[in-house]
Amino acid sequence: MNQTPPSEHESRITIQGVEIALGFPDEFKFEWIGQRDVMDQLLAAWLVIDKNDIPLNPRLVGKPGVGKTTLAYAAAKQINKPVYIFQCTMDTRPEDLLITPVVDKSGGIRYVASALVTAMIRGGVCILDEANRMSEKSWASLAPLLDTRRYIESIVAGLKVSANPEFRICVTMNDDASTFEIPEYIHSRLQPQIFLDFPEAEEEKRILRENLPFLDENIMDYVVSFLQRAHASNENYTIRDGINIARYAAKRISSLKGKAEAKNLLRQAIIMTLGDEALAYISDEN
């Protein structure tokens, strides 16, 4: 089942006589700031330390917006691999994950590889993002890929595709309630679990600065102290909420040009982003 990987510029490959169109990598400027430990854990899981060794399939777990997708992407870039993100949903079908038949202009069938299969063929990294939104049926098709066999079987295209030895996978999962239970045989194939927690104040400020480099220092301090108070109460507000609050407040402050007090606009941005409940975490000192 050995396949020669296509060159970076080739957009199709023939496997067992079947031509398959490949996808393109995702290109973002995601940088990982702070929390070195989780980055090291992820990179170690992907390492291959002997000719008889294989990489692990780590799972990043944490609240929405805590940085799971960003970490997986930044780690893949750190080891210079192309990254292919597959966004999982409740409607993801097994063939969407693997190879989909598409009717072409001449009425014939064309086979198109998913982000996952493209990463397997090219030897890149696949991020199965928000994977616990997927049903058990879709997970089942991944069982051989996630153990020592490292292949998938596409029923639709009638093919087995082996993963390139350079292929790595990382699965991200939210711990919110609107998701499926993952079957035990899949849980045991998605190890280790790496837990992401809220960053410290100083790191949170650096993350805000990285995302919004034009932001005024006072807005940044205000938002960070709001977030830290919310984290201390184990509230689900994350850096993504902080970025949205700060971005909106900065726009309002800029558009009103001194006609309203910045603090009031920040307060308003918090309410408009997170609702009245968030007022509990605004301190009088701000």
Ligand X SMILES: Nc1ncnc2c1ncn2[C@@H]1O[C@H](COP(=O)(O)OP(=O)(O)OP(=O)(O)O)[C@@H](O)[C@H]1O
Q: Which residues bind ligand X (CB under 6 A)?
A: 31-35, 62, 64-70, 130, 172, 174, 199, 207, 210-211, 239-240, 243
State the nearest-atom distance from the C-beta of 254 to ligand X, in Å.
20
> Measured from the CB of residue 38, what is the shortest distance to ligand X in angstroms?
9
Which one, 114 or 225, has the nearer CB to Mg ion? 114
CB-nearer residue toward ligand X: 135 or 236: 236
CA 267, distance to chain mean position in Å, is 30
Q: How far is the CB of 22 from ligand X (least distance, A)?
A: 25
Specify the residue, 69 or 154, whose C-beta has the smaller distance to Mg ion.
69
Task: Name the residue number minimizing CB distance to ligand X.
Answer: 67
Q: Which does 239 bind (CB under 5 to 8 A by kind): ligand X, Mg ion, none?
A: ligand X
Output the smallest distance, CB 174 to Mg ion, in A: 8
What does 92 bind: Mg ion, ligand X, none (CB cut-off 5 to 8 Å by kind)? Answer: none
* Chain centre to alpha carbon of residue 261: 37
Q: Is 92 in the site for Mg ion (CB under 5 A)?
A: no
Q: Is 69 in the site for Mg ion (CB under 5 A)?
A: yes
Q: What is the 3-state secondary structure (H, E, C) of 55-84?
A: CCCCEEEECCCCCHHHHHHHHHHHCCCCEE
Position 238 contacts Mg ion (CB under 5 A): no
**Position 260: which residue type?**
A
Residue 206 C-beta: closest distance to ligand X, Å: 8
In the 3-class helix/strand/coil scheme, how is 5-20 assigned residue by residue? CCCCCCCEEEECCEEE
243 binds, among ligand X, Mg ion, none (CB under 5 to 8 A by kind): ligand X
Give the span between the Cα atoms of 46 and 81, in whole angstroms. Answer: 12
Please, what is the minimum distance in Å from the beta carbon of residue 267 to ligand X?
A: 22
The nearer residue to Mg ion, 73 or 167, going by C-beta atoms, is 73
| Residues 207-236, interacting with Mg ion (CB under 5 A) | none
Q: Which of 97, 188, 84, 86 is nearest to 138 (CA)?
A: 97
Tell me how many residues contact Mg ion (CB under 5 A): 2
Burial class of 213 by CB neighbour count within 10 A (0 to 12, 13 to 18, 19+): exposed
Instruction: Between 157 and 169, name the residue whose CB sits nearer to ligand X.
Output: 169
Smallest gap, in angstroms, from Cβ of residue 155 to ligand X? 30
> How many Cβ atoms are within 10 Å of 185's Cβ, its own excluded?
13
The contacts found for 145-154 with CB under 8 angstroms, 24 or more apart, are 145/120, 145/169, 146/57, 146/186, 146/189, 146/190, 147/189, 148/54, 150/54, 151/1, 152/98, 152/116, 152/117, 152/120, 154/95, 154/98, 154/99, 154/111, 154/117
Closer Cβ to ligand X, 172 or 225, answer by number: 172
Tell me whether residue 171 or residue 282 sits nearer to ligand X (CB atom). 171
The rounded radius of gyration (Å) of the Cα atoms in the chain is: 22
Residues that bind Mg ion (CB under 5 A): 68-69
